[in-house]
Structure 1
Amino acid sequence: MAVYNKRKLYVKYISSYLMSHGYVFIIPILFSAAIQYPNMQKTATTTRLLYGHLHDINSSTIFCMLATIVAALYHILINLPTKIFLVDFACYNPDASFGYSREAVSRTVESVLSPENTTFFKKVVERSGMGDKTFLYGFDDFPPKSAFECARGEAETVIFGAVDDLLAKTGVAPAEIGVVIVNISTFNPVPSLSAMIVNRYKLREDVLSYNLGGMGCSAGIIAVDLAKRLLLQGRRRTYALIMSLESVTSNYYIGEDRSKLVANCLFRMGGAAILLSNKSTDRGRSKYELLHTLRTHRGADDRAYRCVYQEEDSNGKLGITLSKDLMSIAGEALKANITSLGPLVLPFSEKFLFLATLVARKVFNMKVVSPYVPNFKLAFEHFCVHAGGKAVLDAMEEKLRLTKWDMEPSRMTLSRFGNTSSSSVWYQLAYSEAKGRIKRGDRVWMIGFGSGFKCNSGVWRALSGVDPAQVTNAWAAVIEQFPVEIRT
């Protein structure tokens, strides 16, 4: 490996030197041609001029010229900007045996919660935006006798189901994968889940593996950002496999703190496997090109840091507290994120209006001027907003001035699958594909919110249209049943 790196270093140094000093060989030739030009007949062509002079040049000079040209071409090629392509993705499609109605879930939790908290649980579920049937792992044995073993079983079921589907769709061999990233917040066994993937699919020894824990519902976009950085920095052309999921069973809360019970009401089983490539040869078969990833972290603010917080209650039972300030903090994080994202994606007219109102408010202290919310529909055709709950989607629809059509993928994902954490944006993109909405050149904005507190964005451009008749994702078999009316 050391010899190989040195060789690359020498080649790069020589090519850079020739690029910088190529004029030593080129300028004398051009200068000679310029002197002789007046003596040439007017009918002489540039080709004849160069041809005549090349006869007067010795072989060493010709060799230097060719070497310079080759070095210049090599230098240009190795410094071409690398593009990141989304070859394909696969959302885990739960087996029907994991489906539970609201009534069945309510009956089960009645055995472990007080009557007052059972009523609270039912009320939250009713108002959550979820449909009558969602998916849970191991719910027949609730609470599980062994939370750890149940969580491991859930992780294996979701990961292997999604990755098997992805590899079958893409035809990529496991040995071709150079990067593996798993993001999951609340279940981090030893060995890690990324090691579980390496073991299951027998990946090669030099694979770069990462396991992102505790980063919440926006970690899927963080994983994409990390994969992008690794693929851009490395000279090796390879694939990055991302697995985004959450473990519901590892985080069941059986206590009386209502701020922790909300997580039980919203989170459900799910996950998505994503395959990225930095190979230019993959452009023709890839679905999307990654344009931007943008991460906003508000963790320096104590209020934002603690708004989603894992802790024990007064009786020592572990759960995740969802603060009443969550919605306002999410709004602040979104504002900061779109302030940075806007200049990258918006047309000039929207940038100007946004900047003008910002200057009026901040520089001239004109508080009567309302903050300008850019029209992001001029920058994107599709929106995948993290399906954290009905209140989250209602707020996003209002703040971003989106239509019912824009929010349909998010609302239908919440209705059918519940809050699947970081993978929810992928279920939404799969919904749009199954509906035949994705056209060549369309731009997709993925927006994720998560503990910390973070708001992250991913921007994609469709490289080709998606024919719904060819779609085989988690929505394909039932897409004709959607959209459905959301119970309020």
Structure 2
Amino acid sequence: MVFLTGIRIAGTGRYVPPLTVDNNAFAAFLDTSDEWIRSRTGIVTRHISDGEPSWYMGLQAARQALEAAGISGQQLGLIIDTTVTPDYVTPATACVIQRELGAVNAMAFDVNSACTGFVCGVDMAARYLATDPELSYVLVVSNENLSRITDFSDRSSCILFGDGAGACVLEKKQGLYSAYMMADGTGVTSLYANANRRLSLFSKGEHAVPEETDPQGDFLRQEGRAVYRFATEAMPRAVQQVLDKAGMTAAEIDLLIPHQANLRIIETAAKKLQFPMERIMVDLDKYGNTSSASIPIALDEAVRSGRLNRGDRVCLVGFGAGLTMGAVLFEY
């Protein structure tokens, strides 16, 4: 549905670790090369955590977003954090960021929707803002430490991922807002990472349910071809859905900001949408795939570089593990 109450991005921010790893660094221990990686992914460099926790990276991005919005942490009514690499099983990363911001009036919780997480967070924020008259500002933070779960012996996947965080402050605004969210759980094993599976002192494992996933290790695993097929269908489908709901055409979008997974995926989806690459924000050459953080990092870069200006119609579209997809369309 298209809400009568839309959203306004009051401020954005991003943080990436100072440690930068280029493609040649992988060629030192893998059978690969800079040319091979660039031609297949579009990635040139990525930033890797040198010990920075996920919450710390999210906090830096959040502080930038608050500063850009001109508000204090005390003015926040809700903090939504999205991550697949939290520092704690509990508490929520959002609660740690709430503490550091002094956001004493904010409710806080985490969302795990993989690479679609930021889009889901924005949509949740829009719904809270639309239904709670006392809520003025929502902070959405996405922070990812993918290097923690990357198997650096797998040359097909380890070259893809980077670490970082992005954030935005949202407030109510009358106007355009359209959203579409979907999941396909039949693709769970296409992209996954195992969680802790230790048994309790009392358990013998006699009633264990057979696992669909590889029981060995907790690294991120993906079926590249299956993920590619899904992504090249999911991105145009999600964008078209929000356009149809809003009664608009692709030509009316000023800037499309997709999940930064792979340049080939973005180019293939753009052709299906008949959407020009000149109006698509792409920065994965610098950051690689940072999961849910990729869209807010690109959003902040678009705002600060002048590619996105007030009054522009922007569409954010994500797709990832789950398998999940989602898009939101609004006026910046």
Match of residue 383 from structure 1: 256
Q: Kindly state the Cα deviation for residue 188 of structure 1 after the two structures are TM-superposed.
A: 4.9
Tell me the secondary structure at the aligned position of residue 268 of structure 2. Answer: helix
The residue type paired with residue 425 of structure 1 is I
2:137 to 228, 236, 239: 239
CA distance in 2, matches of 1:314, 1:385: 30
Which has more radius of gyration?
1
Aligned: 1:305 with 2:188 = yes
Answer whether contact 1:216 1:450 (CA < 8 A) is retained. Answer: yes
CA distance in 2, matches of 1:243, 1:251: 20
Q: Kindly state the Cα deviation for residue 252 of structure 1 after the two structures are TM-superposed.
A: 2.5
Tell me the secondary structure at the aligned position of residue 53 of structure 2. Answer: helix
Q: Kindly state the Cα deviation for residue 185 of structure 1 after the two structures are TM-superposed.
A: 1.0
Match of residue 104 from structure 1: 25
Aligned: 1:119 with 2:31 = yes
Gaps of 5+ in 2: 196-212
The residue type paired with residue 146 of structure 2 is V
Q: Kindly state the Cα deviation for residue 173 of structure 1 after the two structures are TM-superposed.
A: 1.5
Match of residue 274 from structure 2: 401
Match of residue 480 from structure 1: none
CA distance in 2, matches of 1:405, 1:335: 16
If asked which structure has higher relative contact order (CA below 8 Å, sep 6+), I would say 2
CA deviations on 1:289-316 (whole Å, 9 max, x unpaired) are 66122212222xx2x3322122499782
CA distance in 1, matches of 2:150, 2:142: 19
When the two chains are superposed, the root-mean-square deviation of aligned CA atoms in Å is 2.7
CA distance in 2, matches of 1:130, 1:405: 18
Q: Kindly state the Cα deviation for residue 436 of structure 1 after the two structures are TM-superposed.
A: 3.0
Identity %: 19
Match of residue 251 from structure 1: 149
- Which structure has more helix as a fraction of its residues? 1
Q: Kindly state the Cα deviation for residue 456 of structure 1 after the two structures are TM-superposed.
A: 0.6
Gaps of 5+ in 1: 1-79, 111-117, 139-149, 284-288, 348-374, 463-488
Q: How does 1:295-444 map to 2 (within 5 A)?
A: 295-299=181-185, 302=186, 304-311=187-194, 316-323=216-223, 324-334=225-235, 336-338=237-239, 340-347=241-248, 376-377=250-251, 379-407=252-280, 409-410=281-282, 413-444=283-314
Q: Kindly state the Cα deviation for residue 433 of structure 1 after the two structures are TM-superposed.
A: 3.2
The residue type paired with residue 47 of structure 2 is F
Tell me the secondary structure at the aligned position of residue 246 of structure 1. Answer: strand
Q: Kindly state the Cα deviation for residue 435 of structure 1 after the two structures are TM-superposed.
A: 4.2
- Which structure has more strand as a fraction of its residues? 2
CA deviations on 1:117-137 (whole Å, 9 max, x unpaired) are x21586763432112x33111
Tell me the secondary structure at the aligned position of residue 388 of structure 1. Answer: coil
Match of residue 478 from structure 1: none
CA distance in 1, matches of 2:218, 2:32: 19
CA distance in 2, matches of 1:404, 1:332: 17
Q: Kindly state the Cα deviation for residue 99 of structure 1 after the two structures are TM-superposed.
A: 1.6
Q: How does 1:181-192 map to 2 (within 5 A)?
A: 181-189=80-88, 190-192=90-92
Match of residue 123 from structure 2: 225
Answer whether contact 1:221 1:293 (CA < 8 A) is retained. Answer: no
Answer whether contact 1:254 1:317 (CA < 8 A) is retained. Answer: no
CA distance in 2, matches of 1:169, 1:419: 25
Answer whether contact 2:24 2:33 (CA < 8 A) is retained. Answer: no
CA deviations on 1:227-261 (whole Å, 9 max, x unpaired) are 11222221213211110121123212255xx4xx5
Answer whether contact 1:448 1:456 (CA < 8 A) is retained. Answer: yes
Aligned: 1:207 with 2:115 = no
Scaled by the length of structure 2, the TM-score of the pair is 0.83
Match of residue 8 from structure 2: 85
Answer whether contact 1:253 1:318 (CA < 8 A) is retained. Answer: no
Match of residue 445 from structure 1: 315
Answer whether contact 1:297 1:333 (CA < 8 A) is retained. Answer: no
Q: Kindly state the Cα deviation for residue 419 of structure 1 after the two structures are TM-superposed.
A: 1.3
The residue type paired with residue 224 of structure 1 is V
CA distance in 1, matches of 2:165, 2:17: 10
Match of residue 16 from structure 1: none
CA distance in 2, matches of 1:166, 1:230: 19
What stretches of structure 1 move > 6 A for 4+ residues in a row?
312-315
Match of residue 195 from structure 1: 95
Match of residue 57 from structure 2: 158
Tell me the secondary structure at the aligned position of residue 163 of structure 2. Answer: coil
CA deviations on 1:111-164 (whole Å, 9 max, x unpaired) are xxxxxxx21586763432112x331112xxxxxxxxxxx4xx331431222122
Match of residue 271 from structure 1: 165
Answer whether contact 1:296 1:333 (CA < 8 A) is retained. Answer: no
CA deviations on 1:180-234 (whole Å, 9 max, x unpaired) are 1100013350322111112212222x52111113x21111000111111222221
The residue type paired with residue 309 of structure 1 is Y
1:129 to 42, 47, 62: 42
Q: Kindly state the Cα deviation for residue 165 of structure 1 after the two structures are TM-superposed.
A: 1.6
Tell me the secondary structure at the aligned position of residue 198 of structure 1. Answer: helix
